[in-house]
A = this chain, B = another copy of it.
Amino acid sequence: MPYNHINQDLLNTITDIVGADSVITGQTEIENYSHDETEDLIYYPEVVVKPQNTDQIAALLKLCNANQIPVTPRGAGTGLAGGALPVNGGLLISMERFNRIIAIDEQNLQATVEPGVITEVFMNAVAEKNLLYPVDPASKGSCYIGGNVANCSGGPRVVKYGTIREYILNLEVVLPTGEVIWTGANTLKYASGYNLTQLLIGSEGTLGIVTKIVTKLIPRPTQDVLMLASFASNEDACAAVSAIFRAGVVPSALEFMERKGIEWVIEHDGIAFDLKDDIGAFLLIEVDGSNQDVIFGDCEVINGVLEQYNCKDVLFADSSAQKEELWRIRRTMAVSVKSNSVYKEEDTVVPRAALPELINGIKQIGGKYGFSSVCYGHAGDGNLHVNIIKAGMSDEDWNNKLKDGITEIFELTISLGGTLSGEHGIGLVQKNYMPLKYSDVHFAIWKGIKQTFDPNNILNPGKIFN
């Protein structure tokens, strides 16, 4: 169905709904909302609004639904799959003013927050009460918790504490038709009706706009140990991953980093790091808990495993500052890679024992197509972020042949029991690869669900599968 443009009448009504100071139409300011962190894609919305409450969003969606205006909800714009790009123009709803932590309920270990709260701000607020919200994407310092819900975002600590699905209890959602519902109840579990909370998580803003989030919290562990293990090869490092769990230990983080990633972090961020010549890859391993003996015991077990997998050296962080420094290396890796080259990021996930085969295969495919790659990610979850680097590839090959190489990467991922995207979502840039994994039956079901929520396809069209 063709979309309409926002004419002056509609703009007046929009302005009436949110107030003049919450409407942006000027080209300079609107530019900020034309891109996210996905490569260099730019799509301009016609109008940006910054609503402040649920009623305003309901009124906006009702208006757009009645007038066939596409609507793109946007969190912090840190997405890596183009999910927040307004590919059909129309109205962009920025959630930046939904930034209140409404309540931290210490009786029930729950919190109610608005979706525009920065994830780390929320984590710190609950930490002050000795509580943990463990879903911490690398971009936690800038991303919004609402974006995390929309993209089913992960992070290092999923490996021990479970996915975001375990921590989101209830959502207030404005549907594309302007109706407002709570998806479930403020309870740790429920079994009544198809679970709309879970359906909304990971729906990338295509089914509704989340306006309140109720989260589960857990007691905060009091101690942790962080170690950096170095290996000669990617394969050795990756092979050690599943062995650690088989030894009976569940670390609170188990991150893989390729040598090249560290090199670029050193170069880009000026971080002092003694990178030895014979090291090809690293595992960053954190063990947390509330008892030092247990943590040390787990570290001993892990050390024993690492030795069996040709680990060259293990550095134990000996201060908070050193821990922060090691984490900074991991977290800034994406930005460092981006600032060093033309790149494309792909997000792969496999059963964790398949990691060695995955990373070797990626390198072979790179050799065939002429691209290099920098890989890192949440190895404990089998989740590898693959940054494809243009390097010596010709523009023509980059623009035309690379997609065949990416297709081969995903075919390999799928053949190993995995799928596209562990935690970045499909958005705009991965949707053409979806048929590699999913059949017409999946697409028909997804479209049927979308149609149920959004009969006029106004909400974030052009994403995931449509």
Q: Which chain A residues have a beta carbon within 8 Å of chain B's beta carbons?
A: 105-110, 130, 151-154, 158-159, 162-163, 165-166, 175, 179, 181, 184-196, 198-199, 201-203, 207, 218-220, 242, 245-246, 248-250, 289-291, 293-294, 297, 347, 349-354, 381-383, 414, 417-426, 430, 434, 437-439, 441-442, 444-446, 448-449, 451-453, 464-465
Contacts and interface: CB of A to CB of B under 8 A. Distances in A.
A218 B162 contact: no
**Residue of A152, A154, A351 with most partner-chain B CB within 10 A:** A351
Q: How many copies does the complex hold?
A: 2
18 contacts: A108-B352, A151-B191, A152-B189, A152-B190, A166-B166, A181-B442, A185-B349, A187-B350, A187-B351, A187-B381, A191-B202, A191-B424, A191-B425, A193-B464, A218-B250, A219-B248, A220-B248, A448-B453
B452 A445 contact: yes
Given A185-B417, A349-B187, A446-B194, A162 B166 contact: yes
B351 A105 contact: yes
B442 A193 contact: yes
A187 B434 CA distance: 16
Given A196-B445, A442-B196, A419 B184 contact: yes
A437 to B, nearest CB: 7
Nearest to A190: B419
A247 to B, nearest CB: 8
A207 B206 CA distance: 22
B437 A185 contact: yes
**Shortest 4 CB-CB distances between A and B: which pairs?**
A448-B452, A185-B419, A107-B353, A198-B198
Nearest to A455: B448
B186 A465 contact: no
A266 B349 CA distance: 52
A202 B194 CA distance: 7
B452 A187 contact: no
Contacts of A294: 289-291, 293-294
**Residue of A195, A203, A289 with most partner-chain B CB within 10 A:** A195
A430 B108 contact: no
Nearest to A186: B417
Contact of A293 (B181, B195, B293): B293
A185 B452 contact: no
Nearest to A353: B107
Given A198-B165, A291-B291, A297-B291, A420 B350 contact: no
Given A198-B195, A293-B291, A452-B445, A349 B190 contact: yes
Contact of A351 (B152, B186, B382): B186
Contact of A192 (B163, B189, B430): B430
B464 A107 contact: no
Nearest to A177: B441
Nearest to A164: B189
A412 to B, nearest CB: 13
A150 to B, nearest CB: 10
A421 B190 contact: yes
Given A163-B189, A294-B294, A246 B194 contact: no
Contacts of A350: 187
